[in-house]
Amino acid sequence: MQIFLDTADLDEIRKWQAYSILDGVTTNPSIMLNDGGYDMEVRAKEICKLVHPCPVSVEVTTNDHAEMLSQGRLFATWADNVVVKIPVINESGEPSLDVVSALAADGIKVNMTACLSFGQVVLGAKAGATYISIFGGRVADEGQNAADVIRNAVDWLDRWNYPSRIIVGSIRTAMDIQEAVLAGAHIITSPPKFLKKFIDHHYSRETVRVFNADARKALAIMAEATKKELAGVRVRHL
């Protein structure tokens, strides 16, 4: 299982990279905006360089299929670890499967994104998407069980030997990460703040606090004993 960061914040990426748990990065136009990546090309290239050779998903910004295709081909020239994010359907509901398959035929890795149903996963896999992003939080927004969608998708891909990997995004709590992982997601992509919650625990902190305090006490006892011993030696030499 892999862990991606759902962010365009370079400092956060550096931080999680240093923990040696980072396998990739996903972005979308909203993430770029919120993290100050107003020039998408500049920020995407910075992220790609930072995490190379790990994959970095960069999303197209149009409804038009011909434009999606040319944007996708352009993004793929920015770095060899770019993965082009193509929404499963556009604003009008037209499937983007033709774009997914054309990019895949060019040898460009595609992350088919904004998926909320099992059917979308099936069709994306058939079109040749390298990654398929299920938006767990948004599935739940619609009153559906995200874990069921993830589990069914992963089982179906396995059963028919499709190489597409399921990325679960739209993570909104640390528990969402746990549910996605246990449902069999190949990859989860999380905003940094939920990964931080995934590792933190107040009782772990308290446990470490007690251990450190006891270690300091033991050192103080040893220092005191050494002082007494040295004083004894001095007395014997008088």
Annotated catalytic sites, by residue? 85
Q: Is the CB of residue 116 less than 8 Å from the CB of residue 142?
A: yes
Long-range contacts of 43-46 (CB under 8 A, 24+ apart): 43/8, 43/10, 44/75, 44/78, 44/79, 44/82, 45/78, 45/79, 46/10
CB of 114 to ligand E4P, least distance (A): 8
- Which residue, judged by CB position, is nearest to ligand E4P in the bound state? 169
Question: How crowded is residue 140: how many other Cβ atoms within 10 Å of its Cβ?
Answer: 18
- Provide, rounded to whole angstroms, the least separation between the CB of residue 226 and ligand E4P: 57
Q: Which two tokens stand for residue 180?
A: 């996605």
In whole angstroms, the minimum distance from the beta carbon of 123 to ligand E4P comes to 18
Q: How far is the CB of 169 from ligand E4P (least distance, A)?
A: 3
Write the CB contacts of 20 (distance below 8 Å, at least 6 apart in sequence): none
Question: Of 128 and 169, which CB lies nearer to ligand E4P in the complex structure?
Answer: 169
What does the alpha-carbon distance between residue 160 and residue 158 come to, in Å, rounded to a whole number? Answer: 5
Residue 121 CA neighbour count, 13 Å, CB half: 27
**Residue closer to ligand E4P, measured from CB, 28 or 125:** 28
Cβ proximity to ligand E4P: between 156 and 194 the closer is 194
How far is residue 188's CA from residue 153's CA, in Å, rounded to a whole number?
14
Of residues 38 and 203, the one with the C-beta less far from ligand E4P: 38
Minimum distance between the CB of residue 158 and ligand E4P, rounded to whole angstroms?
Answer: 22
User: Considering beta carbons, is residue 111 or 225 the nearer one to ligand E4P?
Assistant: 111
Interface residue list for ligand E4P (CB under 6 A): 6, 26, 28, 31, 113, 133, 135, 137-138, 169-170, 189
d(CA 23, CA 189): 10
